[in-house]
Amino acid sequence: MAEPVANAAAPAPAPGRLRNAFGGVLCAFTLILIGVLAFSIRLFSVIKYESVIHEFDPYFNFRVTQFLSKNGIYEFWNWFDDRTWYPLGRVIGGTVYPGLTLTAGSIWWFVNALNIPLSVETVCVFTAPIFSAIASWATYLLTKEAKGTGAGLMAAAILAMVPSYISRSVAGSYDNEAVAIFALVFTFYLYVKTLNTGSLFYATLNALSYFYMVCSWGGYTFIINLIPMHVLLCIVTGRYSSRLYIAYAPLVILGTLLAALVPVVGFNAVLTSEHFASFLVFIILHVVAFVYYIKGLLTPRLFKMAMTLVITVGLAVCFAVVAILVALVASSPTKGWSGRSLSLLDPTYASKYIPIIASVSEHQPPTWPSYFMDINVLAFLVPAGIISCFLPLSDASSFMVLYLVTAVYFSGVMVRLMLVLAPAACILSGIALSSAFDVLTRSMKFQLSKLFDDGPAISGNGSPNGSSASTVNTSSSKNEKTEKSEAAPKEKQSKKNRRKDKEVTESVSVKPKKEKRLSVLPLEASIVSTLLLIALGGFYVVHCVWAAAEAYSAPSIVLTSRSREGLHVFDDFREAYAWLSHNTDVDDKVASWWDYGYQTTAMANRTVIVDNNTWNNTHIATVGTAMSSPEKAAWEIFDSLDVKYVLVVFGGLVGYPSDDINKFLWMVRIGGGEFPHIKEPDYLRDGQYRVDAQATPTMLNCLMYKLCYYRFVETDGKGFDRVRGYEIGKKHFKLTHFEEVFTTHHWMVRIYKLKPQKNRIRGKLKKLKSQSSKTSSTLAAGRKKNPWQ
């Protein structure tokens, strides 16, 4: 798009070129600053806490990266991990999206090749901030394609600090989304770029970028559905062009071939319903291209005849194909859709059928405040951006609108997909702000020049504000271009066609002096509006920095709380994992709810039964059943899985709300889904979940209750649970099949060992009991004071 800019400055060649160069340098400098901003705003977590990996999934990614850096890519590719999902194991190489790991591994390898001895952990911690800087540059490119440099810079700056993205990409948050958002935006950029230029080179790059996205994140299906939708939109609105064909057809073919190379996707790229839309649109695109081709060959009358013929035949074939597809798809139980995709299409699907998806907090629908929290003022700017996109509507800007609309829908289904919405919101807000500033500064300049100099008003158009003027120019020229290219199929050779396009652009951009005498606002209104917009931006920046510093930086393995005495640090998780790694045998199996699986394997290096990769529902249900069963049944389940230790997370002492008792109903539901003898109503008193004196006996006797509240009454004498806010129901009890081996400082993690089977089987003890009742009663008296000895 450099050409139109140069052309805009054409009337005054020498100073224009200088200004242009200056603009370019300024733009580059701004971009660098935006990159620095994006990187540094994500460092709060390192500064406030420490340089650690955060949360759950990042620990797995970290472990995989360690393995990769130690054993090389082929070992990683073929890695069969026998330390998770015992005894099933997991083929890591074939079930993981390798993009993030390979990226970080390459960075580590590269840095070490330069003799900079960074640890793998350091590289992993800082991968996300680095990629958010790159993502904001990609946003700049994408927005620039749609609405010019000004909007691009604006959007990049907004994206650099949008809280929704920060929440997933602070230093230490080493998750797929960290690189996937960059890949997403960059793929869209290349698509729009191809659409604008019709260059096969960019189309190929686009397929490669799509490949990187497929490597990185399961969210790639969003791309492979959004782009076909846009293509369809273009066709339906009569915007078919050869550029559209070049932008789409290579992407489908190359992209699908490349996607099938990723082991975790494999044949899914052609077998699952998520990808069918792209193939369908691919067929439609060809039909449309063929129709345009025939139209060019025949006379209108003949064409009409041919059209009816083709449409009848085409429809018949289409029906046949669709019928076959439907039959194929309907034959599979999930209709060819994966559970997660289904829960996107039907938001109530997961809660009805797949508790394991519904149980994850980030799969819940978001609340309204979370929109304000995550995208803040962008929520108000986006509508303005949509309007701006329609003035005028180009292929690129229609893509932005479509992207936004779909992303808003998806974010409404799952709070996690707020992340996909964030770039769209940033781009449209950038466009909105840029257009607004454009109008305001132009009218200010116009009014000022009228005020100080009653000379010719033309100088106002001479655009000292180079970029904004050129924006108008660009868009208008683009408009021309699309109009022109609709007629394009008449030309036979697309190569020439494109050259022609360029000529048209050049000719267009010289002439439109008259059109640009657009709406001009009064000076005062412009100044006030500008100030207000700047204030709005300032508010946004303040909010973002607050969110980055306070809300989204906590690593969740180290917790802090402020009290009157000062900052209090809860480092119980690492304490527990360190205990496990120092005090248990290397092949011991540790059972816990799946949330802690990744951390246990990564930090304690112990085999776990289930982990956060929830691929086997039955196995998770088995653990859920054990946790919901009485002690003996639970012991038998765990023993059959060779479990040695059981780990529970308990927040009742310090008031940590996301503990196992609060997650327990999900264990019951998931367990009951596979093993019907576990029934949810048994754990609820009148539909209410409670663990106080009103709780049901099943609840008070299940393993989870016992492991969490064992000896709890010792702490304060009453057994007051600070999360639930009441005293627990059953305070004094003993464990027969489990023994407590470790409880962390704040009781947040408690580890129990399975007692071995009794060496002897006792007899009935008839008379002895009555005889010894005297002694046992004295024992019982002593027990009141300290029942645990």
Partner 1 sequence: MAAPRVLLLLAAAALLAVSSVGDASGEGPRGRKLLVLVDDLAVRSSHSAFFGSLQARGLDLEFRLADDPKLSLHRYDHSASDLIRGIATECGVDFDEDPEAMVIDHINYASSEVEGDHTLIAGDDLIQSDVILGSKKIEAPVLFRGIGHAANPSNSLVLKVLSASPSAYSANPEAKLASVPSLTGSAISLVSVMQARNNARVLISGSLDLFSNRFLKSGVQKAGSKMSHDKAGNEQFVTETSKWVFHERGHLKAVNVKHHKVGETNEPSMYRINDDLEYSVEIYEWSGTSWKPYVADDVQIQFFMMSPYVLKNMSTDKTAVYSASFKVPDVYGVFQFKVEYQRLGYTGLSLAKQIPVRPYRHDEYERFITSAFPYYAASFSTMGAFFIFSVAYLYHK
Residues that bind partner 1 (CB under 8 A): 74, 77-78, 80, 82, 86-89, 91, 93, 587, 640-641, 757-768, 771-772, 775
Whole-number Å distance between alpha carbons of 649 and 282: 51
Nearest residue (CB) to partner 1, 102 versus 548: 102
Q: How far is the CB of 38 from partner 1 (least distance, A)?
A: 37
Nearest residue (CB) to partner 1, 362 versus 636: 636
Q: How far is the CB of 487 from partner 1 (least distance, A)?
A: 26
Nearest residue (CB) to partner 1, 333 versus 763: 763
> Are the beta carbons of 136 and 116 closer than 8 angstroms?
no
| Other CB atoms within 10 A of residue 519 CB | 7
Cα 784 from chain centroid (whole Å): 53
Nearest residue (CB) to partner 1, 87 versus 392: 87
Q: Is the peptide bond before 392 cis (omega within 30 degrees of 0)?
A: yes
By C-alpha distance, which of 33, 35, 40 is closest to 171? 40
Nearest residue (CB) to partner 1, 67 versus 222: 67
Q: Max Cα separation, the chain?
A: 120
Nearest residue (CB) to partner 1, 242 versus 341: 242
Nearest residue (CB) to partner 1, 562 versus 762: 762
Nearest residue (CB) to partner 1, 618 versus 715: 618
Q: How far is the CB of 463 from partner 1 (least distance, A)?
A: 45
Q: How far is the CB of 74 from partner 1 (least distance, A)?
A: 8
Q: How far is the CB of 562 from partner 1 (least distance, A)?
A: 45
State the Cα angle at 58 between 57 and 63, rounded to 5°.
Answer: 100
Q: How far is the CB of 90 from partner 1 (least distance, A)?
A: 9
By C-alpha distance, which of 659, 637, 655, 656 is closest to 593? 659
Nearest residue (CB) to partner 1, 88 versus 458: 88
Cα 303 from chain centroid (whole Å): 48
CB-based contacts of 568, cutoff 8 Å, min separation 6:
560, 561, 562
Concatenating the DSSP letter of every residue in 236-305 gives HTT---HHHHHHHHHHHHHHHHHHHHSTTTTTHHHHSGGGHHHHHHHHHHHHHHHHHHHHHHS-HHHHHH
By C-alpha distance, which of 102, 319, 80 is closest to 216? 102
Whole-number Å distance between alpha carbons of 194 and 202: 5
Q: How far is the CB of 183 from partner 1 (least distance, A)?
A: 24
Q: How far is the CB of 91 from partner 1 (least distance, A)?
A: 6
Q: How far is the CB of 769 from partner 1 (least distance, A)?
A: 9
Buried b (16+ CB within 10 A) or exposed e, 5-28: bebbbeeeeeebeebbeebeeebe
> Are the beta carbons of 366 and 418 closer than 8 angstroms?
yes
